[in-house]
Structure 1
Amino acid sequence: MTTTLASNRIHRFDNLKGLAIILVVIGHLIYLKNTKEINLIRNFIYIIHLPVFFFVSGYFSKIEEGQPIKSFKRLMIPFILFCIIYWLFQKYVLLGNPKTLFIYPGYGLWFLISLFFMKMLLPIMDKLRYPVLTSFIIAICIGFINCNFLGISRTFVYLPIFLIGFYYNGYVEEFSQRFKSIYSILSNKKVILILAALAFFAVLFTANNYTINLICLKYSYHGFDLYEIVSRVIVITLGIISTLILNQLMTNKEIFLTKYGQNSMSVYIFHLFLIKIILDILRPYYPLHQTITIISVFGISFIIVHILSRDIVTAFLNKIVDKIFNLFFKS
């Protein structure tokens, strides 16, 4: 990719991550209340927010010398550090009963180790003849194995969209050359909007009819359950389609989402503590009216993202990670 192309596209991916991190915070905070309408919003969000993150992560991933240690620094050190902090936080602040340290990552921290595993698998998957198709088959078959630890199940479930992000430019170029007429039609703004509308209603229908256990793609099947298998295929496919459409619709301009996306890692890590406090302490006193709940959830989520996406927060996180890294690794 040329420098010009990268500079033209960078805001698009920052904006995608910015949108995704807002949806993540809303999706976690919306557990304040349990009604059919609120659960519909939550399910809708859960179908699309993580695929966007993994797509963008795949897009910027590389296969080159030095990448494993960089990934370890950016992902595993925060994972180890904040697993410990979250375990202590849950046990001594929230007075809860945390699960086994590291094996069952604290609330939301599975994302870090899953992304690390994907980056480590990338050189292997790249050697396959059909990496995306193979990963999709694995994503469906992993449901037969009970591996809900270390983020392993969702590592393989979201691996296809990560690989699509990694190969995105090459796939688009090849498709545009082999199917020029179809590519021309799909590139039309009106066609994209029509596809976006169809995808929206498909995701809405799925969110309304599937339980959160099916949508979060975390749990294994109950035996050879055809309904659960087909459900997983649908949820993964909708996540991929929605992400690709959002990528086409997202602007390259620098907007309010850009800063949120650039500093999404600090938002993701630190919001877990804020959300847990709100959920465990404030839930009993939360307004009963559903509309007030929805409005306040969206408002509080934007405030949390805005505060935690400040450069000073990201600088603080990077400083901690750098100090820990320098203690154990050569410069």
Structure 2
Amino acid sequence: MTGASLTTPQPARTAKVRMPHWDNARFLAVTLVVIGHGIQRMTYDSNYALALYLFIYAFHMPAFAIISGYFSKPGAPTALQMRRVITDIIVPYFIMETIWTLVKFLVEGKTDLNPSTPSWTLWFLLALGIFRLILPYLSQVRWPLLWAVIASIGVGYLDNVDSTFSLSRAIGILPFFVLGWKLREWGLMDRWNVAERLVVLLRALAVTVFAGFMAVILGNIELWRTIDLRFWFFYDASYHGLGEDQWWAGGVRLGLIVLAVILSAAFFALVPRRHTWVTDAGQATMYVYLLHSFVLYPLRESGLLLDERASAMWLVSMILGSIGIALVLSMPIVKKIFRPLIEPKPNWVFVPLPKETDLSTQKR
């Protein structure tokens, strides 16, 4: 595996040629993450910022989960795969959580060290670990996608399932992960790779979907602000916590799941299928995802992006700046410097691998 990718919870696989489409999708998705976090403070004072924020959050993490599921295998993990869950997910999580605890102590004076409650972006690392643990079991039951949807809708009715170890959010976006795994099983993306005559039509349809969705957002922006729609896209709170404890609240989440699938399909249709200037950057999404928050944190806490600085000019500037942050953090020099934190190799903590493990076919 070349570089650290955010969307591959089972990195131990036989070496194969990388598909540019997926690396392009990874980078574009993580860039949307950076943009979303970059403009978040501006949403309080700018309807345009809020519209873009809602547009991004409606599908960007579901798309990430779909990619993650696509590259996951449902079989029982090998010894090498199990220890890479530790080195690629668990150890980086505790390293970054410790750093965040120190940063919040120095900046905000907070002393609440609690690794069971992930800081800011770290929730997705734990979600990947949960996905990795349950996929072998989900693959043994009929209609796993249906059960994942039921779990996602049902967890919203439980007030006692919260953000501890990202459990509520992991269950909330589980359908997208399972969908990604099933897409590979169905071979749907393989057919997309050869459907040359349909590419133009599908991309035109995707643009229409995105334009229509943005029109709906802009046309009802005050309604979305009033009902705090953005919190529904987080998938991390119960319906009661969202202020909607009616029996039909699960239907709202179901609708948002369907919406996210449609928007994710449009996103994947628009992603270039050939090697582009951002393809190589798609192999370093873990670095962008985990490090960009430290760049944006001073801006968010300073109040610089509030009030008059939420103008259209500032919004465009933040979008361009966020794209620049994503590009810089995906550079080889950044990977070289931060590799010990993002891709640690604590081999000394492990027992020897079984003799039958063939390391020559287990490349990163």
TM-score if structure 1 supplies the norm length?
0.86
- Whether contact under 8 Å (1:44, 1:204) holds in the other structure is no
Indicate which of 16, 19, 43 corresponds to 2:25: 16
Residue 131 (structure 1) aligns with: 144
Residue 291 (structure 1) aligns with: 312
Going from structure 1 to structure 2, the CA distance change for 1:311 and 1:191 (only over 3 Å counts) comes to closer
Matched residues, percent identical? Answer: 23
Residue 169 (structure 2) aligns with: 154
Counterparts of residues 227-242 of structure 1 (less than 5 Å): 228-242=249-263
Counterparts of residues 32-111 of structure 1 (less than 5 Å): 32-33=41-42, 34=44, 35-62=46-73, 63=75, 64-65=77-78, 66-92=80-106, 94-97=107-110, 99-111=112-124
Going from structure 1 to structure 2, the CA distance change for 1:280 and 1:294 (only over 3 Å counts) comes to same
Counterparts of residues 1-331 of structure 1 (less than 5 Å): 7=17, 10-33=19-42, 34=44, 35-62=46-73, 63=75, 64-65=77-78, 66-92=80-106, 94-97=107-110, 99-146=112-159, 147-172=162-187, 187=198, 189-198=200-209, 200-202=211-213, 205=216, 208=221, 209-210=223-224, 211-222=229-240, 224-226=245-247, 228-281=249-302, 283=304, 288=309, 290-320=311-341, 323=344, 325-330=346-351
Residue correspondences, number: 320
- Whether contact under 8 Å (1:51, 1:239) holds in the other structure is yes
Going from structure 1 to structure 2, the CA distance change for 1:203 and 1:55 (only over 3 Å counts) comes to farther
- Whether contact under 8 Å (2:299, 2:305) holds in the other structure is no
Going from structure 1 to structure 2, the CA distance change for 1:188 and 1:303 (only over 3 Å counts) comes to closer
- Whether contact under 8 Å (1:15, 1:251) holds in the other structure is yes
Query: When you count helix as a share of all residues, which structure comes out higher?
Result: 1
Q: Which amino acid aligns with 1:107?
A: W
- Whether contact under 8 Å (1:143, 1:219) holds in the other structure is yes
Structure 2 unaligned residues grouped into runs of 5+? 1-12, 353-364
Structure 2 CA distance for aligned equivalents of residues 194 and 288 of structure 1: 35
Going from structure 1 to structure 2, the CA distance change for 1:98 and 1:172 (only over 3 Å counts) comes to farther
- Whether contact under 8 Å (1:196, 1:242) holds in the other structure is no
- Whether contact under 8 Å (2:183, 2:189) holds in the other structure is no
Going from structure 1 to structure 2, the CA distance change for 1:132 and 1:162 (only over 3 Å counts) comes to same
- Whether contact under 8 Å (1:73, 1:325) holds in the other structure is yes
| Partner deviation per Cα, 1:74-126 (whole Å, 9 max, x = no partner) | 1111111100110111111x124365521211111111011111011110111
SS in 2 for 1:151: helix
Q: Which moved more, 1:59-68 or 1:119-128?
A: 59-68
SS in 2 for 1:254: coil
Q: Which moved more, 1:230-239 or 1:165-174?
A: 165-174
Q: Which moved more, 1:139-148 or 1:78-87?
A: 139-148
Question: 1:173: how far off?
Answer: 5.3
Structure 2 CA distance for aligned equivalents of residues 174 and 36 of structure 1: 36
Q: Cα RMSD (Å) of the superposition? A: 3.0
Going from structure 1 to structure 2, the CA distance change for 1:48 and 1:321 (only over 3 Å counts) comes to closer
Structure 2 CA distance for aligned equivalents of residues 13 and 191 of structure 1: 18
Structure 1 unaligned residues grouped into runs of 5+? 177-183
| Partner deviation per Cα, 1:247-267 (whole Å, 9 max, x = no partner) | 233222122331332111001
- Whether contact under 8 Å (1:55, 1:162) holds in the other structure is yes
Going from structure 1 to structure 2, the CA distance change for 1:61 and 1:98 (only over 3 Å counts) comes to farther
Q: Which amino acid aligns with 1:29?
A: G
Question: 1:322: how far off?
Answer: 5.5
Q: Which amino acid aligns with 2:295?
A: L
Question: 1:231: how far off?
Answer: 2.3
Going from structure 1 to structure 2, the CA distance change for 1:290 and 1:76 (only over 3 Å counts) comes to same
Structure 1 CA distance for aligned equivalents of residues 266 and 81 of structure 2: 29
Question: 1:189: how far off?
Answer: 3.5
